Structures are given as structure tokens and as C-alpha cells.
Chains A and B, each alone.
Chain A
Amino acid sequence: MQVQDLRVDFGSHVALRGLSFELFAGETLGLVGESGSGKTTLARAILRLLRAVRGRVEFQGADLLTCDREALLARRRNLQIVFQDPLASLNPRLTVGESVGEPLKIFEPALTAQARRRQVDAMLERVGLRAESASRYPHEFSGGQCQRIGIARAMILGPKLLVCDEAVSSLDVSIQGQIINLLLDLQRDAAMAMLFISHDLAVVRHVSHRVMVIFLGRTMEIAPSDALFAAPIHPYTRALLSAIPAGLPAARIATLHAKTEGCTYCNRCPFAIEVCELSEPPLAEVAAGHWVACHRSHETLNPLSLQS
């Protein structure tokens, strides 16, 4: 998938301010940023679950944002999402088997009920649920189990790209590891790409090949996971990674009001200088595959030389 200059507005509020990135087959791209940074909006916009103002989302030879309904539906079979709230994303009046089998019903109508049932049972087993679960209803399951049902439903068509929007955030650590390993197995078997959104930086670090950091709808830094966590360059990334809270609420309110020029982070940045107020820093490659949007990135490369 190739995303170019994606912009989403909610009324006068700009949620995404022109985001661009690529996602390769078999790759996991981690997406981090605090609440309100646009993580979920991005997930929904690339799946056309909400409307983007401008930009392109290239996937399997079509622009998902402008292609016709038929072309979109054809590609949606390869594009799946696991939502944050597992219970809310399952229809309470459908049995688990019906929910997990519904994508098959839509995309493979030729399948007999029996064959469909077999695939559903196999998928449920794969995510660690008993086959008998198929005849039960979502409310009979715990949060962790519902999350597995959501994953089973997303995986049943063997998608090429899976978006995980805080898919493991509500789970216990013991289950979290199981679910993530399951996703990694499924990914390896099918060369599936994953956009992995999470506020848990430790989890993101382990599962992602590359990580993208966004703040108020703009990319601050994008780099291979090891490089980003070992040597973050953007001041925002560093604030996010340090144990210290990244900003006081007062500062946050101020920055939420649309800033039309300059760096979106400059109100909170301890290293901001005059140029940061005036012009928006472009995303520039500072090392192989390591992109940073900061006027002072050449200085932040060597943190000791930097004075606030």
C-alpha cells in the first residue's frame, strides 16, 4: 500500500495534515502517537471507512479513495481491520460462527454451508477457541476471547493487509503475547502486511519492522524499529519514549487549535527556535530509512550538542 498526502478534516478541525507512507508485503508498520494524534482516523481513512479530503491510497492497482464501489469491494476482501473494542465490533445477535463466516458468505458465495462451517471451525481453532464456540453468542465470551473472534473474522479471507487498531491493548499480558504471536504466525504464513496501532510502545517495538510516530495528524519520525527505539531523533519521539509525561494538559489544549504554519510540535518542543514557528519542517532522510520532520534534526543526531 502506498499512501500519499492523506488529509482528513472534521469540520474546521484538521485530523490528518497530509500523511505519506508505504507499507510492504509481509511488513509490520507500527503507528504510535498520543490520543488525538490521528492514529484511528488514519486507520479508518485508508480503508475508506471515513472520507478523506485529499490524497491517494494506492492498493492493488487502484486508488481506494476514488475508485468505484465495485473496485473498492473487490479490494476490501484483502483489507481487514481488528478494532479496539472487541465486544462492540461484534453483532450481539449473530452467533460467533455467523460473524466469523460472514466474510466468506459475501466474498465466496459459491461455498456450501458445510464447507464454510469447516473453514470457520478451523479458523476458530487457529485463534485458540474451541470449535463449539461457533454456536455461542459474543456476550458469553471474555474480552480476550472476543478479541480472538475479531481476529478470526479478519483473517478468514487471508487478507493482504491487516489493520490492528489497539487490538491487544485491553488484554492481559499473558493473553496479549498469545494474540500477538498468533498475528505474527498468520502474517508469516501469508506474507500479510500489518499496520499495528498501539499506545504500548514496548509491544510496538517488538512486533514492528518499522515505526511511524505521528503528532496532531503529521508524521514526526519514521524509522526501522531498532533505530527508532535505540536512537530517536525527533524531540517528540524522545518525549514519548521517556518516562516523563510528554506534556502538560495546558500545552496540549493550546496545540490542538489548528496551527497553520510552522511545526505542529513547536508549542511543546523544548528545542524550538524561531524557524520552527515560521515554517513547517519537511520529512527528511537523516540515515538509511530513517526519516525525521525537524528543523534541528542535524543537531538532534548528536543529542549532547543540543541546547534548549
Chain B
Amino acid sequence: MEPVLCIERLSVGYAQRAANLEAVQQVSLAVAPGECLGIVGESGSGKTQVFMAAMGLLSRKASVSGSVRFAGSELLTAPPSSLNRVRGSKLTMIFQDPMTSLTPHLKIGVQLAEVLVRHAGMSWRDAWVQAGLMLERVQVPEHQRRLRQYPHELSGGMRQRVMIGMSLLCEPLLLIADEPTSALDATVQAQIIDLLRTVREGIGMALVLISHDFSVVAGLADKILVMYAGRVVECATAADLLSHPRHPYTAELLKCVPTLSGPRLQRLPTLAGQPPRPGEVSAGCAFAPRCPRAADRCRSERPPLADSADSQVACHFPLSS
């Protein structure tokens, strides 16, 4: 089946003074219809940049190259008018902080209905009714009253429900959720993840879930892609990657996740060192300085992303699966 989103050799750079900062380098990935792809990486690894570039949301200062095909058509070279037809209807995105994604001075109902008026050509009256139904679907209690409220009158969890509802109005083929639960409490987090699972199954939509937190991604993703310093280091099915990580970075990162079982630790495991600073380039593997398995070759020669049956890993000395 043809993927709904296909990114090929995407690079994002920022010209700064004399140097060019490479935020994303040669990233390729594909999302199949109905599939959930989890993107994991530390802050600064470029995970958000990839999808901001795909959506055409980066500032003009960014230089983007490569190809992003959505439902068969190229997005990177598309004119704004055709981008605007796709964005917010068939290709939608939600962010970490729902407060900054909502317009503070417009009622929730107006903001929801506007999407349908614009993209589906509905009348305001019909759109308002649909907005109410959508709030009910994303389990916002007292949805009729909520329609007439302003964003600040809602809790963080409710606002994120509104954002999810808004992103679903036109039955998107793909929803990109960038850290959708990071600003929320554990209990609310679980509810939002549950909601994403339910709505995804309901309309068979594909989902890209970006998070720095494995536990968020683990519950939903079919496939997980790990990024480090602007590159893909590993991509595999969620079950394989979580139980048998092959890239040392994935393995070390998983070790850092505190657990609710096992003995209570006096100190938490950490990943030694720091990720490379933007603009810091190395000939070899970017993770080599922090890697317990690194050899001379890793410092001089960059490992390519090697394909095997169901997974990809960019490492000279991967762990055995």
C-alpha cells in the first residue's frame, strides 16, 4: 500500500554567520495509512523540525531540501494555496501547549466551526452543530456550554481535547501530534493517549506521535523511530525496539527511564555526556563520544542507516537483536 506520508532525504539547515547549522540531515521515513509512528529523541534532536518542515511551518530562514509527499503530492514545492487546502483538513498537527495553539479571544465553538466553514464549505450554523458533536466525541463534558467558552476557561487537558477535536473535524488522513501530553498530569496524560487511540481506530487515521518520553510512545506506536543529532539512528517495530534495541543510543536511553517495578535505586541511571551542540560536526557517528561501544572507526566514519528485514539501524557495531 502506498504510504500516506513519505519523507525522503529531508534536510533542514539554518544559515548562521559563516556556518550552516544542520538541524535535520537526510531523514527518510514513511507512514502507512492507519499506522502510528512514534518519533523519540532528546530536545534538539530535530524531531519537531522534521514535521514542521513537512508542514511548511518553518521560518524563511530555514533552508529545506529533500522531498515530502503527502497522499501522493509533493508538499515542499507546493504553492501556499494548495498547502492551505491540505493543512488543517487532511493533514493536521497538534502541539505541546494547547493554549498557544488556540486564539485567546475567540470562543471555542467559533474556532472549531471555522475549520468546517473554510475547508468543508459548511454554513456557520451547520458547522456550529458539528463542532458540538465533535466536542462530545473527544469527551469534553458539558460540550454545549464549552462551545461558548474561551480557551482560558478550560483546563490544560480539556484544551488538548479541543485541539484534538479541531484536528479531526475534516477526517484527516494523518495527524501529527507533537508532545501532546508533555504539559499534562499523569492521569490526564493517560486519558489523552486513550482518546488518541480511540479516535484513530474510529476513523482509521494515521498518527505520528512525537515525544521525548518512551512511555507515551510505547502505548500507541506500531513503529518507533529514534533520532539523534538530526539523524535517524534506529527505526523498528515498537515491540522490537523496546525489548531489543539495536542502536546503543536507544539502549542507553531506555535504561534511563525510571521504572515502577524492581528495586528502588539510590541514584538514577544517566547517559554520560551531552548531545553535540548545533553546528558541531563530526566525521563519524554523532553519538560516538557518549557511546560505550564506540571504536576508532565510529569516530572517523559515519555509519549509514542500514536496512534489514523490518528495521533500520545506523551503527557500525549494533547490539544483536
Interface residues of A (CB under 8 A from B): 34-36, 142-144, 170, 172-178, 180-181, 184, 199-203, 205-207, 225-226, 229, 240-241, 243-250, 253
Instruction: Beyond A184-B266, A249-B139, A253-B142, list 15 extra A-B contacts (CB 8 Å).
Output: A34-B188, A35-B156, A35-B185, A35-B188, A142-B43, A172-B212, A174-B252, A174-B256, A180-B268, A181-B268, A202-B258, A206-B258, A240-B186, A246-B187, A250-B141
Known: A34-B186, A174-B270. A245 touches B194 (CB 8 A): yes
Judge whether B67 is part of the interface by a CB distance below 8 angstroms.
Answer: no
* Docked pose: A177 CA to B271 CA in angstroms: 8
**B271 — nearest CB in chain A belongs to which residue?**
A174
A253, B271: Cα distance in complex, Å: 41
B264: chain A residues within 8 A (beta carbon): 205-206, 225-226
Per-residue 0/1 for B215-248: is the Cβ within 8 Å of any A Cβ (1 yes, 0 no)?
0000000000000000000000000000000000
Q: What's the dominant secondary structure at chain B's contact region?
A: loop
Smallest CB gap from B266: residue in A: A184
B174-216 CB mask vs A (1 if < 8 Å, else 0) is 0000000010111111110010000000000000000011100
Question: Given the complex of chains A and B, what is the CA–CA distance between A36 and B158 in angstroms?
Answer: 13
Is B26 at the interface (CB under 8 A from chain A)?
A: no
Q: Which residues of B contact A172 (CB under 8 A)?
A: 42-43, 212
Task: Report the 8 A-B pairs with minimum CB-CB distance, sorted nearest first.
Answer: A177-B270, A202-B258, A177-B268, A174-B271, A35-B185, A173-B256, A34-B187, A172-B42
Q: Is the interface of A mostly helix, strand, loop or mixed?
A: helix
Q: Is B157 an interface residue (CB 8 A)?
A: yes
Annotate B263-280 by CB proximity to A: 1 below 8 A, 0 otherwise.
Answer: 011111111000000000
Q: What are 17 A-B pairs at a CB distance below 8 A?
A: A34-B188, A35-B155, A35-B185, A36-B155, A173-B213, A173-B214, A173-B257, A174-B252, A174-B270, A181-B270, A184-B267, A202-B258, A226-B264, A240-B187, A245-B194, A248-B139, A249-B140
Smallest distance from the beta carbon of A148 to chain B beta carbons, Å?
12
Task: Return A287 CB to nearest CB of chain B, in Å.
Answer: 18
Q: How far is the CB of B116 from chain A (nearest CB, A)?
A: 24
Shortest beta-carbon distance, B182 to chain A, in Å? Answer: 7
Residues of B near A34 (CB, < 8 A) are 185-188
Complex Cα distance A249/B192, Å? Answer: 11
Q: What is the CA–CA distance of A244 and B156 in the complex, to the nearest angstrom?
A: 20
Which A residue sits closest to B258, measured CB to CB? A202
| Nearest CB of chain A from residue B266's CB, rounded to whole Å | 8
- Residues from chain B with a CB closer than 8 A to the CB of A203 are 258, 268
Could you tell me the distance between the alpha carbons of A184 and B142 in the complex, rounded to whole angstroms? 45
List, in ascending order, chain A residues with CB within 8 A of B269's CB. Answer: 177
> Quick check: A178 and B270 within 8 Å, CB to CB?
yes
On whether the beta carbons of A245 and B213 are closer than 8 Å, the reply is: no
B260 within 8 A of A: yes
| Residue in B closest to A252 when the chains form the complex, CB atoms | B141
Instruction: Decide yes or no: A206 and B187 within 8 Å by CB, A173-B214, A173-B253 being known contacts.
Output: no
| Measured CA separation A120–B139 after assembly (Å) | 50
Q: How far is the CB of B17 from chain A (nearest CB, A)?
A: 15
A243 touches B190 (CB 8 A): yes
A176-B256 contact in complex given A205-B264, A206-B264, A226-B264, C-beta closer than 8 Å: yes
Q: Which residues of A contact B141 (CB under 8 A)?
A: 249-250, 253
- Among A175, A201, A229, the most chain B Cβ lie within 10 Å of the Cβ of A175
| A203, B257: Cα distance in complex, Å | 9
Q: Cβ of A173: which chain B residues have Cβ within 8 Å of it?
A: 212-214, 253, 256-257
State in angstroms the CA–CA spacing of A176 and B267 once bound together. 11
Q: B157 near A35 (CB under 8 angstroms)?
A: yes
Distance between Cα atoms of A200 and B266 in the complex (Å)? 17
Give the distance in Å from the alpha carbon of A11 to the alpha carbon of B305 in the complex: 59
Alpha-carbon gap, A43 to B213, bound state (A): 26
Q: Select B191's contact among A207, A249, A253, beta carbons within 8 Å.
A: A249
Rounded to whole angstroms, the CA-CA distance of A31 and B191 in the bound complex is: 21
For the complex, what is the distance from the CA of A170 to the CA of B97, rounded to whole Å? 12
Residues B44 and A142 in contact, CB atoms below 8 Å apart? yes
